[in-house]
Amino acid sequence: MTVNRTILGRPLRGVAFDVFVSGVVVLLALAGMAGQPGGGAATLVGVAMAVALLFRRAHPSAVAALVAMLAEVQVLAGWGPLVYDVAVLVALYSVVKYAERLRDGVLAGAVAGIGAVQAALQTEGPEWWAAALYFGLVTGAVWLVGLNVRTHRRYVFSLEERAATLEREREAEARAAVAGERARIARELHDVVAHSIAVMIVQADGARFTIDRDPAAARDAVKVVADTGRQALEEMRRLVGVLREPDPPEPASAPRPDDGGVAEPEHRRPALAELPALLDRFTEAGLRVRWAVTGEPSLPPGLELTVYRVVQEGLTNALKHAGVGAAVEVTLERDADAVSVCVVDDGRGRSPVRPAPSGGHGLVGMRERVGVYDGRFTAGPRLAGGWQVQVRLPLPSTEAVAA
């Protein structure tokens, strides 16, 4: 494991390198103290430049400005170019590489160019322009190296930021997937458990109050309770079995072209072929159910599950709220563009022994299921009495399937 050591909040390796560079400039200034123009005063200027370079990463523009002023003092004093003037090139490189705005580097380059001309004018010999050209080439090379490193550094930073953004997006998608999976499991548990328990409660209450007056009816009610419980237990085992798999498949199957592009759970899904058995169970529970189908009932698997759950929820609500003996009409109509489901009860059954508990999520679950397919969902009381649930689900178009 790599440990990044720091000192005063800065990387230790960078601080050590800056100290080394400053130490080299100090040594160069001290080495020429005896023979260089300016003597001790010029050495102090060189030491000041070296100290300023210690802060070249944190404050590159300020360091470049300070080093430029010290170099100008050297020029005005007439000392000419000295060996420790390498500090000027280091400061120029630093401001181009580390400054937040590139215009600071451009300004520093212009100042360094002027300084190169001034230094060339103080060199010995008649061909000062050759010295100016040499100083200018060295200064320009250092500036271009700094620009290249700056560009590479910004590119690496952009890649790191992009990677961090993608990681955050993946985490957000993972959280959304977990939330969606939790909502799906909650809907499935409600559909498997709540409907069956509602039927069992109604039948158990009916058996308890008719066991003395009509033992045969009580036995039939108890049989419905047992059959409903067995079916709920079987569905629960299937659902929990999916959750307990050591290496489970993806929580939702891949979207199929004939399924409208919407993924559904992998475990066994009730189909429209099972609707008659569902209606029979509610008929045994005491509802008077009428069933009508218009058009070809064959649907994509995801839509079949949604239609099945809508009918199941509508019949369960009728049994819970309208009561035993209520008349319920279930219609399924398919045309070229959509499938429509309608569950209507007359609200004239026997009042339940105990009021149905409030705060259920059945209507919310139906609305969510229908919303997945961009369908239309309405539910509410009828003027003539009772309750109605109406759902319209658009069918996937042939063009979408072909695509």
- Residue 29 within a domain: yes
Average pLDDT, the chain: 79
Percent of the chain with pLDDT over 70: 80
Global pTM exceeds 0.85: no
For position 8, what pLDDT does the model report? Answer: 61
Which of 92, 108, 124 is at the close of a domain? 124
What are the start-end ranges of the H helices in 54-127?
A: 60-76, 86-98, 102-121
Residue 378 confidence (pLDDT): 92
pLDDT at 239: 64
pLDDT band for position 361 (50/70/90)?
low
Domain identity same for 120 and 173: no
Q: Say if residue 77 is in the same domain as residue 214.
A: no
Both 322 and 216 in one domain: the answer is yes
* 297, pLDDT greater than 70: no
Given a cut of 80, is residue 185 above it in pLDDT? no
Rounded alpha-carbon distances, angstroms, from residue 149 to 95, 96, 235: 12, 9, 64
User: Does residue 345 register a pLDDT over 90?
Assistant: yes
Has residue 124 got a pLDDT over 70? no
Give the CA distances from residue 319 to residues 51, 196, 304, 387, in Å, rounded to whole numbers and listed in that order. 88, 11, 23, 11
Q: Is residue 145 part of a domain?
A: no
pLDDT of 17 > 80? The answer is yes
Task: Retrieve residue 162's tokens.
Answer: 């992009």
Same domain, 172 and 118: no
CB burial of 69-86 (b: ≥16 within 10 Å; e: otherwise) equals ebbeebbeeebbbbebbb
Same domain, 184 and 326: yes
Task: Look up the domain containing 300 and give its range.
Answer: 168-242+256-402
User: For residue 141, is it within any domain?
Assistant: no
Outline where 190-332 has alpha helix (H): 195-210, 215-244, 275-284, 301-317
Average pLDDT over residues 31-45: 79
What average pLDDT score do residues 129-133 get? 82
DSSP β-bridge partners for residue 388: 344, 380
Last residue of a domain, one of 71, 105, 124: 124
Please report whether residue 266 resides in a domain.
Answer: yes
